[in-house]
Structure 1
Amino acid sequence: MSNKNYKYIIDVDTGIDDALAIILASKTLREKVIGITTCGGNVRLEDATSNTLKVLDLARWDIPVYAGASKSIENSEFVHAYDYHGTNGICDVQIENNRKPENLAADDFIIETAKKNEMVIVCLATPTNLASALKKNKEIARNIKVVYIMGGALNVPGNQTEYAEYNFFQDPQAVRIVFENIKDVRIIPLDVTNQCIISDKEAALIRVVTPTDKFIKEAITNWYRFFGYPKKRQFELYDPLVVSATDNKNLLSFSDVKIGISVDGIKEGEIFLNGKYSVKIAQKVQTNDFKNYLLNNLDIVTGNDVS
């Protein structure tokens, strides 16, 4: 795939890993991204939008933000994850923000952009905004050349239920709409994101040189304090891996598969093989290369080599 003329939209529900991904994108995709859309999910829509604007200010990235869905495509409530992301969604780090989102809704922004441009959409949230745009205007699918989605769990347990990963559990109908309409969907599932972590010791070694360094160190340290240590969990770099994969094609190995998704019942949000939708799914990740890529592009300096 040649991306040279494609316009990028990043879709987020900005919790802590989205925040890191936005900072990373400000370094690696700055000239390609024309807007960010927000969705409820990790946090309520208003918090996702506010957090996105705060992080963009921190990263000194002046691009427009469009607020989108506060509920699923079928109008059910999202299950938020403040226990994981902190009371404000970015691990209780305080950032000032004076910016406002655009008046245009996220799905309408996607439609208007796709009418005029060939596009790549990077979904770090459940893809409700994209599904809503496709429901309103299916013709835009021809110009949406690639969709990257952080979601799904193929050969590992889910992180929302035994069967389902969080994003796909939130709105499986939206996921199905994307599968039905977009020819090139690339899924980055828990199978690979679970392998990409930053430990508390690694975070402690981050030297605070810039405001983004300070935010990243404080946020990850806070996360370990209120969630990681009590739950005996490591901090997985879900969304930063997806953004990295859009820029560096050597980090992930994708396989062409036919999958399905369960849209209701006990297995709601589960993906499974031998379905009817043709997608590419990441099944291998170069973990050391990813970590080096991440630290280098975030301009993070550590006390020693953390690879």
Structure 2
Amino acid sequence: MTKKVLLFGDVGIDDTVALIYAYFNAAIDIVGIVADYGNISRQNALINIHYVKSLFPSEEVKKIKVIAGAHIPMTGEDPKYVPEIHGEYGLGPIIPPKMLHDGISDNFFEVVEIIKKYKEEDLIIVNIGRLTSLASLFILYESLMNTVKAYYIMGGAFWIPGNITAVSEANFYGDPAAAQVVLANAKNVKIIPLNATNQAIATPKMVNYIDQVGKVPLIKILLDYYYDFYKKRNPSIQGSPLHDVLTLMAVIHPGMLTYQSHPVYIVQDVAGIARGQSIADIRPYVDLKSDTQGDSVVGGEVHEIAFELDYATFYYDFMSVMTK
């Protein structure tokens, strides 16, 4: 059965690969894209999406509504972009033509219309960037957001090193206030943190095979650029971690990831090293609902957190889809 997905993203390289993966996968129907700041500016994210859509000319792609989301975090800070990882436009070395306004809406209320339209079809929201836009919807339309069937969120690093600070992952770090709003209010949430996504590696051999057999536009250019960055940072890494592809893939492969349920809280320390840290209470002796033993609990809502990846399932699905 095809899954209806409303996608929120900051559209860097791995977001773009996730969009291409969805295009080739008949089990996923992207009904809308909300473009936010994050890896790159919101303006450049919109240009990226328009360019990628132009490379896959079909009536289905043309119908996908693209909506301008948040351009700054709820903390009010100026966002910091990472072109050294994703390129200026989230397309590695590619500078796309700036055809910005064709099919793109500045009316954020259209997100509400999409949710209303598809809520009876078990709409799923996948957030693979900062959570500012999604948090805004919970603040304004809590009842409507409770009609969404499930939320898949790429974010967090639980008891492992972060990718932006020693303890924090970039999406939660970029707007910890928004992350906490979402996780305090959303129901049926699956968090896909670095614990799992760091295992979702696309090796250079995989990328070369996709390029030769699948002849998928952009893939080799994007993932070679991505891998160059990761290789400089960690010479032992075997390929590019596909954080956002895995999060989208989890929607249609429930058995691919192993989850644990824990209360989750996001540290709100704006200036400290712990900003955006994702904390889960794993103590087996604490009553997480009533805390009758007097222990201090983390105080967050209980969510499912992915820890282990069945790499064989990931590999087979990704290679099958991308080689068509």
TM-score (ref. length: structure 2): 0.84
State whether structure 2 residue 124 is matched by structure 1 residue 124: no
Report deviation, 1:208. 3.5
Distance across 2 between alignment mates of 1:290 and 1:159: 22
Which SS does the other structure have where 1:90 is aligned?
coil
State whether structure 2 residue 107 is matched by structure 1 residue 105: yes
Report deviation, 1:180. 1.8
Which SS does the other structure have where 2:165 is aligned?
coil
State whether structure 2 residue 119 is matched by structure 1 residue 114: no
Which SS does the other structure have where 1:144 is aligned?
coil
State whether structure 2 residue 13 is matched by structure 1 residue 12: no
State whether structure 2 residue 312 is matched by structure 1 residue 288: yes
Alpha-carbon spacing, 1:112–1:210, altered in 2? closer, same or farther (3 Å): same
Alpha-carbon spacing, 1:29–1:172, altered in 2? closer, same or farther (3 Å): farther
Match of 1:272 among 274, 279, 293: 279
Which SS does the other structure have where 1:113 is aligned?
helix
Compare 230-239 and 168-177 and name the one that shifted more.
230-239
Q: Size of the alignment, in residue pairs?
A: 294
When Rg is computed on C-alpha atoms for both structures, the one with the higher figure is 2
Which SS does the other structure have where 1:291 is aligned?
helix
Contact kept in structure 2, 1:192 and 1:284, CA below 8 Å = yes
Match of 1:46 among 43, 48, 65: 43
Name the aligned partner's letter for residue 290 of structure 1. F
Report deviation, 1:85. 0.7
Equivalent position of 1:305 in the other structure: none
Could you tell me which runs of 5 or more consecutive residues in structure 1 were left unpaired when the two chains were aligned.
Answer: 301-307
Deviation per residue, 1:102-151 (Å, 9 max, x gap): 33434x22323334442211001111111111212222122122111000
Alpha-carbon spacing, 1:297–1:202, altered in 2? closer, same or farther (3 Å): closer
TM-score (ref. length: structure 1): 0.88
Name the aligned partner's letter for residue 221 of structure 2. E
Contact kept in structure 1, 2:27 and 2:252, CA below 8 Å = no
Alpha-carbon spacing, 1:79–1:242, altered in 2? closer, same or farther (3 Å): same
Equivalent position of 1:90 in the other structure: 91
Distance across 2 between alignment mates of 1:76 and 1:87: 20
Which SS does the other structure have where 1:159 is aligned?
coil
Equivalent position of 2:182 in the other structure: 178
State whether structure 2 residue 35 is matched by structure 1 residue 33: no
Name the aligned partner's letter for residue 112 of structure 1. E
State whether structure 2 residue 241 is matched by structure 1 residue 224: no
Contact kept in structure 1, 2:32 and 2:114, CA below 8 Å = no
State whether structure 2 residue 138 is matched by structure 1 residue 134: yes
Report deviation, 1:197. 1.0
State whether structure 2 residue 264 is matched by structure 1 residue 262: no
Contact kept in structure 1, 2:11 and 2:39, CA below 8 Å = yes
Report deviation, 1:79. 2.1
Name the aligned partner's letter for residue 273 of structure 2. I
Which SS does the other structure have where 2:313 is aligned?
helix
State whether structure 2 residue 158 is matched by structure 1 residue 154: yes
Equivalent position of 2:203 in the other structure: 199
Percent of residue pairs identical:
28
Contact kept in structure 2, 1:93 and 1:215, CA below 8 Å = no
Deviation per residue, 1:60-79 (Å, 9 max, x gap): 32211001111002322222
Alpha-carbon spacing, 1:19–1:277, altered in 2? closer, same or farther (3 Å): same
Contact kept in structure 1, 2:166 and 2:273, CA below 8 Å = no
Alpha-carbon spacing, 1:209–1:201, altered in 2? closer, same or farther (3 Å): closer
Report deviation, 1:198. 1.6
Distance across 2 between alignment mates of 1:114 and 1:157: 35
Contact kept in structure 1, 2:47 and 2:99, CA below 8 Å = no
The CA RMSD over aligned residues, in Å, is: 2.2
Deviation per residue, 1:142-170 (Å, 9 max, x gap): 21221110000012110000110000000
Name the aligned partner's letter for residue 230 of structure 1. K
